[in-house]
């Protein structure tokens, strides 16, 4: 400038929209995890599978009726197996392995039991195959397959919550019994910490159990390899996303409770200290007036 003075220009701060737009460029991994998390929540709650057509429903009912016919045959085979086992069980007295007569009778009836069991297993296998064919008519990605997967997840999820609640109840009893020489704030924070740990453990275990049970469900629909892998991956992402969201809300609420409790205790201690200081000043003032 002619007068030699320096002019400092203040750069305008970027708007919120610009910051959001630049976030994936600056933090690609975090943005990727966030998008996967949103995808999991969408698959868990909002995704709508293709509707089942009338032709699929008709073919499914035909297969189910075929399975019901086999079910009657299976019931008769299981009845024969039960009778053979009961007849053999009559000779399984105490220490029958060390009694020659009883052992001979048991071994003599074992082939009949094995034959009846083999027949029952063969019929059960045929029925399971027909049911898998019935599910294959609907498809793994149909309403039936997706809803069955969701029911399997929520069953595991609720089991994890029940485990956490039961374990928290047990921990609270021991914490209360062991709180003779402790103040209430430390006991409350310990209960809160134990509750969060129990829910974290229970829900993580529920995801693991769900992923172990999921291949059996996929196998029952006789899906192709790529379809099975895709379904397993999306179901796993959805399960992890739901549990992560639930634990995030739970830990956030726990943090708010812990902060509020500690803040309340600090304020109470400050008020008590202020009251003591005011009382000291009054005593000092009374002493000075008394001396005067």
Report residue 84: phi and psi, to 5°: -65, -40
Shared-domain flag, residues 286 and 211: yes
* pLDDT on residue 1: 45
The domain boundary, picked from 114, 138, 162, lies at 138
Q: How far is CA 80 from the centre of its chain?
A: 41
Shared-domain flag, residues 68 and 160: no
Shared-domain flag, residues 165 and 231: yes
Shared-domain flag, residues 29 and 69: no
Q: What tens digit of pLDDT does each residue of 166-198 get?
A: 999 998 888 888 766 667 777 888 899 999 999
Shared-domain flag, residues 113 and 251: no
Q: Is the confidence at residue 7, as pLDDT, over 50?
A: no
- Asked if residue 289 belongs to a domain, the reply is yes
- Asked if residue 151 belongs to a domain, the reply is yes
Out of 133-137, 196-200, 281-285, least confident range = 281-285
First vs last C-alpha separation in the chain: 72
The domain boundary, picked from 138, 154, 180, lies at 138
Domain residue limits at 89: 52-138
* pLDDT on residue 9: 46
Q: How far is CA 210 from the centre of its chain?
A: 7
Shared-domain flag, residues 257 and 146: yes
Shared-domain flag, residues 128 and 146: no
From the number of C-beta atoms within 10 Å of its C-beta (0-12, 13-18, 19+), residue 142 rates as: buried
This prediction's pTM: 0.78
Shared-domain flag, residues 61 and 38: no
* pLDDT on residue 61: 94
Q: What tens digit of pLDDT does each residue of 48-105 get?
A: 999 999 999 999 999 999 999 999 999 999 999 999 999 999 999 898 899 999 999 9
Q: What tens digit of pLDDT does each residue of 196-246 get?
A: 999 999 999 999 999 999 999 999 999 999 999 999 999 999 999 999 999
* pLDDT on residue 281: 67
Q: Where are the alpha helices (H) located in the chain, listed in sequence order? A: 16-26, 28-41, 54-89, 100-138, 143-177, 184-220, 225-291
* pLDDT on residue 6: 47
* pLDDT on residue 216: 95
The domain boundary, picked from 138, 168, 186, lies at 138
Count: domains in the chain: 2
Shared-domain flag, residues 34 and 171: yes
Q: Is the confidence at residue 161, as pLDDT, over 50?
A: yes
- Asked if residue 117 belongs to a domain, the reply is yes
Q: What tens digit of pLDDT does each residue of 239-274 get?
A: 999 999 999 999 999 999 888 887 777 777 677 766
CA atoms within 13 A on the CB side of 194: 19
Report the candidate in 106, 110, 108, 130 with the shortest Cα–Cα distance to residue 118: 110
């Amino acid at each position: 400038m002619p007068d030699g003075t320096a002019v400092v220009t203040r750069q305008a701060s970027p708007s919120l929209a610009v910051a959001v737009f630049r976030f994936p460029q600056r933090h690609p991994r975090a943005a990727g995890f966030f998008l996967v998390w949103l995808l999991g929540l969408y698959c868990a709650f909002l995704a709508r599978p293709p509707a089942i057509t009338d032709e699929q429903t008709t073919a499914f009912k035909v297969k189910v009726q075929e399975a019901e016919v086999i079910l009657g045959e299976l019931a008769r085979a299981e009845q024969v197996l039960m009778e053979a086992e009961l007849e053999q069980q009559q000779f399984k007295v105490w220490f029958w392995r060390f009694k020659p007569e009883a052992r001979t009778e048991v071994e003599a009836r074992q082939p009949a039991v094995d034959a009846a069991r083999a027949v029952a297993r063969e019929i059960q296998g045929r029925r399971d195959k027909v049911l898998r064919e019935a599910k294959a008519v609907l498809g793994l990605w149909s309403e039936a397959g997706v809803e069955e997967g969701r029911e399997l997840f929520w069953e595991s999820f609720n089991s994890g919550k029940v485990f956490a609640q039961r374990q928290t109840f047990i921990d609270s009893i021991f914490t209360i019994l062991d709180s003779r020489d402790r103040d209430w704030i430390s006991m409350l924070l310990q209960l809160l910490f134990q509750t969060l740990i129990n829910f974290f453990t229970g829900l993580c275990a529920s995801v693991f159990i769900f992923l172990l049970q999921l291949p059996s469900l996929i196998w029952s629909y006789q899906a192709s390899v790529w379809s099975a892998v895709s379904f397993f991956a999306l179901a796993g992402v959805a399960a992890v996303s739901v549990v992560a969201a639930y634990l995030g809300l739970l830990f956030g609420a726990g943090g708010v409770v812990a902060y509020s409790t500690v803040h309340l205790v600090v304020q109470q201690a400050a008020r008590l200290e202020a009251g003591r200081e005011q009382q000291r000043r009054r005593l000092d003032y009374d002493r000075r007036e008394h001396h005067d």
